[in-house]
Amino acid sequence: MQQRDIQGIVTDSDNVDRCFWCMGTTDYIAYHDNEWGRPVADDIYLFEKLCLEGYQTGLSWLTILRKRDNFRSAFLDFDFEKIARFDSSDVIRLLRDKGIVRHRGKIESTINNAKRMCDLVDEFGSLSNYVWCYEPDMNDRPEKITKGILSTLTQTPASGALSKDLKRRGWSFIGPTTAYAFMQAVGIVNDHIEGCRFRLLAEADRSTFKRPEG
């Protein structure tokens, strides 16, 4: 039986303490345990996350997570160089794809952002080099991540700066809240709640992660 305490930690039948938000489905638990908050430098994965966080706008992440394989198939595994060559016929194809979120604005945004991604890689060498420059100083982070603190972390000065600069570069569907969800997901910040077993594992990964030199 699951037991919830006041700090937002849930102990499941496997006796593992986890963040409250992931409980209820095995796919959400697996995402929480194995991906969320772990530092990433792979450009394809980073681009995918930026795109999917944009698709999440107005929806739940669980909805997007359950469609992720369909998104990967539809968008050629998020190979941004290939997506940048998509045309109007691809937009029509994607609007007919029941396996993804059929939102014209978001589909066209993905194609646009792939083109902007190519420009960014030309300038910085990689998306990883660029986004990790927005990792906040530890002094600017809360001393302890609790359920209450997490509820206030919908956006931060760092995510606002990332969003503003990407928009300046022509990216779309990347507001400061979306940017912060991205930063949480790829380990630029560690927002697992204090007491969650995977907070320690994520922090261990972050401590050995080689930050891009920019």
Residues 6 or more apart whose CB falls under 8 angstroms from that of 48 comprise 71, 72, 78
Mean pLDDT (the chain) is 94
List, by residue number, the catalytic residues.
31, 53, 61
**Domain ranges, residue 60:** 40-189
Number of domains in the chain: 1
Is residue 25 assigned to a domain?
Answer: no
pLDDT digits (tens, 9 = 90+) for 58-84: 899 999 999 999 999 999 999 999 999
Quick check: is 1 in a domain?
no
For residue 170, tell me if it sits in a domain.
Answer: yes
Residue 100 lies in a domain: yes
pLDDT, one tens digit per residue, over 123-169 is 999 999 999 999 999 999 999 999 999 999 999 999 999 999 999 99
Sheet holding 17-19, edge to edge: 3-4, 9-11, 17-19
In a domain, 157, yes or no: yes
pLDDT at 214: 60
CA separation for the pair 151, 206 (Å, rounded): 23
Q: Is residue 152 part of a domain?
A: yes
Query: Does the pLDDT at position 212 exceed 90?
Result: no
Report the alpha-carbon distance of residue 17 to residue 148 in Å, rounded: 17
Residue 26 lies in a domain: no
What pTM was computed for the model?
A: 0.95
Question: Residue 1 above 60 pLDDT?
Answer: no
CA distance 188 to 198: 15
Report the CATH number that the domain containing residue 156 is assigned in CATH.
1.10.340.30
Confirm whether 128 is domain-assigned. yes
From the list 138, 128, 133, the residue with the least C-alpha distance to 159 is: 133
Q: Quick one: what percent of the chain has pLDDT higher than 90? A: 90
Share of the chain above pLDDT 70, in %: 97
Q: Are 160 and 179 in contact (CB under 8 A)?
A: yes
Neighbouring C-beta atoms of residue 153, cutoff 10 Å: 17
Give the list of residues 6+ apart from residue 177 with CB closer than 8 angstroms, or none: 154, 155, 159
